[in-house]
């Protein structure tokens, strides 16, 4: 008997005034004692719902609509709350996705340990537990808001281990943390797991991390498990085309020539009845049967897979179906469109940016790489004229001192400097259509009439790959997928025909499977339209893919700069090294 047995589990959301959505559909799997299992899926794939069902934490309107969960012999789905309670935390604990909010804000960390022990009539030493996650015992006296995000997450982890559970469910435990911190915590987790021997279900959208951490990986797509294999086996041979696509989005940035895959399209709408393979619409190798026959999860390779082609042929190869190949020829020496010279910016006596110099050249991408707080965003504000440098200068082509621009001149300058934002959900006004969003810069900066602007907006949408444009012009943002929204954002940035594009983490909020697609689009636009682009990221891989030149920033200072490949292959600064190490790399892991 396995520790955790999930059998044909379905979870349905039935909102009072809406169509029910089957978020988890007939999922079955087992986890054995001490096993470290990864659960991989994009947003909306049902992975967190599955986690909540296992923990029996589903809240209305979600409810288990079929199947069962057994943990350590207890039928979790049908037992009463009182029967479950002894199980909770003593045997099955969890770390939630958002560490920011999973600790009670009004009682001390110590008290949160204490009530955990008290609830189960146990005693324990919280200090030792904190020590496990490399935290000082004085944290116990502190309140959650006094801790950093990383510390909170460590506390949450220590808390999860407090009663020496047999099983820990980790739901995106490090999302939102800085890469280096993320990396450290996961390392620690892995060590603890092998040391203490608890079983783990690790839920994540980040395939790299999952592959690196887990013994076995399950892949979820549109509410179903589509593949379940030991990590090692999966690494060498992914069964499902979806998994192949996901894995393809990773590469070693140190390679001289790299390419990453993407999977165009978006997951199906689960509020409608599903026929055939749910991935068929996005599958590069789908055959006719795929859209009519619903595949079963059948043994294949070293595990199981849900694919007709695998079923029939044993293996498919969907890799490199769609990929973005970064070929960085030596960039031509052209005059810079913007020059930043020894710029510094102070806030309340603290230097956010210190002595930074770089140029933006037409048709080329300059990447700023660093963690949050490294000063990347401040530099973006200097470049866009939102802030004026404390010392040094930002000069636009023709000798315009960007820092001194105000009013109409600043507006005129902004025509040439446009932004692509990080969060495509926040970057578009939820009440305004793409047609409106795009027509504003066209009317303001280019002086087009309303009708002209609309035509032009359509052309721009086509340019960013939203085809046919008429389908998108009058939609509201929430009717678009994340990738589509980001395309609209890019189209809006292109509208006034700028010289400079500042892209602040434009792909970090997108699903892994489509990131490369957006990168490819940006790459194309920069080269064909001869834009000077400032690409801001924490992710060296994407910088490697897109940028000609890279500046690594740490605490406001440039610690390393140069041609992208050179910097990456030949990292000198320890900080760059750390960033490189933090990249989960399932491909190169041996």
Partner 1 sequence: MRYFLRRAGFFLATLWAAITLNFLIPRLQPGDPAEAIVSRLGGQSQAIDPAQVESIRKMLGTPDGNLLTQYGDYLAAVARGDFGISYTYFPYSVTHMIGQGLPWTLILVGVTQVVSFVAGTLLGAWAAYRRNSRVDSVITLGSTFVGTLPFFWLALVLIYVFAITLNWFPTGGGYGGGSDPGWNWLFFSDAFQHSILPAVSLLIVGPIGWIIGMRNNMVQTLGEDYARLARAKGLPRRRVALTYGARIAVLPNVTGFAIALGGILGGTVLVESIFNYPGLGRMMLEAVSNRDYPLMQALFLFITVGVLIANLLADLLYGVLDPRVRREEAG
Partner 2 sequence: MTTSLPIQPVDTEQAEVAAVEAARATKVPGWFVILWRNRKCRIGLVMLAVFVFVALLAPVLAPYAPRDNSFTASVGPNGSNWLGTTAQGEDVLSQLVYGARTSLLVGLAAGTLSTVIGLAVGLTAGYLRGLVDEVLSFFINLALVVPVLPLMITLAAYAPVKGLWLIIFVISITGWAYGARLKRSQIITLRTRDYITAAKFAGDSTARIIVREILPNMTSLVVVGFMGACLGAIGGEAGLAFLGLGDPTTTSWGTMLNQANTGGAMLTGQWAWLIAPGVAFAGLMTALTLINFGVDALSNPHLRED
Site residues, partner 1 (CB under 8 A): 55, 57, 59-60, 81, 84-90, 93-94, 96-98, 101-108, 115-116, 119-120, 143, 145, 156, 159
Provide the greatest CA pair distance for the chain.
Answer: 75
Residue found under tokens 């934002």:
421
119/285 with CB nearer partner 1: 119
Place of tokens 């079929």: 66
Considering the complex, state which of residue 164 and residue 359 has its C-beta at the smaller distance from partner 1: 164
Q: How far apart are CA 117 and CA 95, in angstroms?
A: 17
What distance in Å separates the CA atoms of residue 27 and residue 79, rounded to the nearest whole number?
20
| Shortest Å distance, C-beta 94 to partner 1 | 5
Interface residue with partner 2, options 98, 444, 481, 524 (CB under 8 A): 444
Contact pick of 97, 417, 537, 585 for partner 2 (by CB under 8 A): 417
Residue 2 CB, nearest approach to partner 1 (Å): 21
Closest separation between CB of residue 143 and partner 2, Å? 16
Is residue 406 a contact residue for partner 2 (CB under 8 A)? no
| Binds 61: which of partner 1, partner 2, none (CB < 5-8 Å by kind) | partner 2
Of 227 and 505, which has the nearer Cβ to partner 2? 505
Does 19 help bind partner 2 (rule: CB under 8 A)? no
**Closest separation in Å from C-beta 431 to partner 2:** 4
266-269 — which CB contacts under 8 Å span 24+ positions?
266/481, 266/483, 266/484, 267/42, 267/44, 267/45, 267/221, 267/222, 268/222
Matching residue, tokens 């893919």: 545
Query: Which 3-state string (H, E, C) describes 351-393?
Result: EEEEEEEEEECCCEEEEEECCCCCCHHHHHHHHCCCCCCCEEE
Residue 478's binding partner, choosing from partner 2, partner 1, none, with beta-carbon cut-off 5 to 8 A by kind? Answer: partner 2
476 binds, among partner 1, partner 2, none (CB under 5 to 8 A by kind): partner 2
What's the closest the beta carbon of residue 115 comes to partner 2, in angstroms?
Answer: 24
Does the footprint of partner 2 cover residue 426 (CB under 8 A)?
yes
Using CB under 8 A, pick the residue from 414, 515, 544, 561 that binds partner 2.
Answer: 414
DSSP string, 130-160: HHHTT--GGGGGS-GGGS-HHHHHHHHHHHH
Q: CA 372, 375, 380: angle at the middle one, nearest 5? A: 105
Task: Name residue 561's beta-bridge partners.
Answer: 551
Q: Dihedral sign for Cα 581, 582, 585, 586, please.
A: positive
Given partner 1, partner 2, none, residue 428, with its beta carbon under 5 to 8 Å by kind, binds partner 2
Site residues for partner 2, 366-405, by CB under 8 A, read 384
Verify binding: residue 456, partner 2, rule CB under 8 A.
no
Length of the chain counted residue by residue = 590
Residue nearer to partner 1 on the CB measure, 120 or 529: 120
Closer residue to partner 2 (CB): 417 or 484: 417
Report the SS3 class of residue 470: helix
The minimum distance between CB 156 and partner 2, in angstroms, equals 23
Interaction partner, residue 251 (partner 1, partner 2, none; CB < 5-8 Å by kind): none
CA distances from 82 to 75, 78, 87, 173 (A): 13, 11, 9, 28
The answer to whether the bond into 584 is cis (omega within 30° of 0) is no
Least Å from the CB of residue 111 to partner 1 = 9
Pairing of strands 199-204, 167-171: parallel
> Least distance from C-beta 339 to partner 2, angstroms?
21
Residue 96: name its binding partner from partner 1, partner 2, none (Cβ under 5 to 8 Å by kind). partner 1
Tell me how far, at minimum, the Cβ of 254 lies from partner 2, in Å: 33
Q: What DSSP character marks residue 237? A: -
Which residues bind to partner 2, rule: CB under 8 A?
15-17, 60-61, 384, 411, 414-415, 417-419, 421-423, 426-432, 437, 440-441, 444-445, 476-478, 489, 492, 495-496
């Amino acid at each position: 008997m396995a520790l955790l047995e999930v059998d044909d589990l379905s979870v349905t959301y039935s909102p009072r005034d809406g169509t029910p959505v089957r978020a988890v559909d007939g999922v079955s799997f087992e986890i054995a004692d001490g096993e470290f299992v990864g659960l991989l899926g994009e947003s909306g794939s049902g992975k967190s719902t599955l986690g909540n069902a296992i923990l029996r934490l589903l809240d209305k309107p979600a409810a288990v609509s079929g199947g069962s969960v057994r943990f350590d012999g207890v039928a979790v789905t049908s037992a009463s709350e009182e029967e479950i309670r002894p199980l909770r935390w003593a045997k099955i604990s969890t770390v939630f996705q958002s560490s920011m909010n999973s600790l009670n804000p009004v009682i001390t960390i110590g008290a949160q340990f204490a009530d955990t022990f008290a609830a189960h009539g146990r005693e324990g030493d919280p200090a030792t537990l904190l020590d496990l996650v490399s935290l000082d015992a004085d944290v116990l006296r502190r309140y959650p808001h006094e801790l950093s995000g990383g510390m909170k997450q460590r506390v949450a982890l220590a808390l999860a281990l407090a009663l020496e559970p047999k099983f820990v469910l980790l739901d995106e435990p490090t999302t939102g943390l800085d890469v280096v911190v993320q990396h450290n915590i996961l390392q620690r987790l892995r060590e603890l797991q092998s040391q203490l021997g608890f079983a783990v279900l690790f839920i994540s959208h980040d395939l790299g991390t999952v592959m690196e951490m887990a013994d076995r990986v399950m892949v979820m797509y549109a509410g179903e498990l589509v593949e379940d294999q030991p990590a090692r086996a999966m690494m060498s041979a992914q069964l499902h085309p979806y998994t192949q696509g996901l894995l393809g989005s990773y590469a070693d940035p140190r390679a001289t020539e790299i390419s990453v895959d993407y999977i165009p399209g978006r997951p199906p709408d689960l509020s409608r009845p599903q026929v055939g393979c749910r991935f068929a619409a996005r599958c590069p190798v789908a055959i006719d049967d795929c859209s009519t026959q619903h595949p079963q999860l059948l043994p294949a390779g070293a595990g199981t897979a849900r694919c007709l082609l695998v079923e029939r042929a044993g293996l498919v190869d969907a890799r490199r179906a769609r990929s973005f190949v970064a070929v960085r020829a030596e960039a031509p020496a052209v005059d810079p469109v913007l020059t930043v010279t020894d710029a510094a910016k102070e806030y309340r006596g603290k230097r956010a940016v210190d002595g930074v110099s770089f140029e933006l050249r037409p048709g080329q991408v300059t990447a700023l790489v660093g963690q949050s707080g490294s000063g990347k965003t401040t530099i973006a504000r200097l470049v866009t004229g939102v802030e004026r440098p404390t010392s040094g200068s930002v000069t636009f082509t023709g000798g315009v001192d960007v820092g001194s621009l105000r009013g109409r001149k600043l507006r005129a300058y902004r025509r040439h400097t446009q932004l692509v934002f990080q969060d495509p959900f926040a970057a578009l006004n939820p009440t305004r259509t793409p047609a409106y969003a795009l027509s504003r810069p066209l009317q303001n900066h280019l002086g087009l009439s309303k009708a002209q602007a609309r035509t032009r907006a359509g052309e721009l949408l086509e340019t960013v790959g939203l085809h046919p444009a008429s389908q998108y012009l009058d939609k509201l943002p929430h009717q678009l997928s994340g990738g589509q929204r980001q395309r609209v954002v890019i189209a809006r940035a292109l509208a006034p025909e700028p010289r400079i594009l500042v892209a602040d983490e434009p792909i970090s909020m997108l699903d892994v499977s489509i990131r490369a697609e957006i990168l490819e689009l940006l790459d194309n636009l920069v080269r064909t339209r001869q834009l000077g682009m400032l690409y801001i990221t924490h992710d060296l891989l994407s910088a490697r893919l897109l940028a000609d030149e890279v500046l690594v920033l740490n605490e406001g200072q440039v610690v390393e700069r140069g041609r992208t490949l050179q910097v990456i292959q030949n990292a000198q600064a320890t900080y760059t090294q750390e960033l490189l190490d933090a990249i989960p790399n399932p491909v190169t892991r041996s």
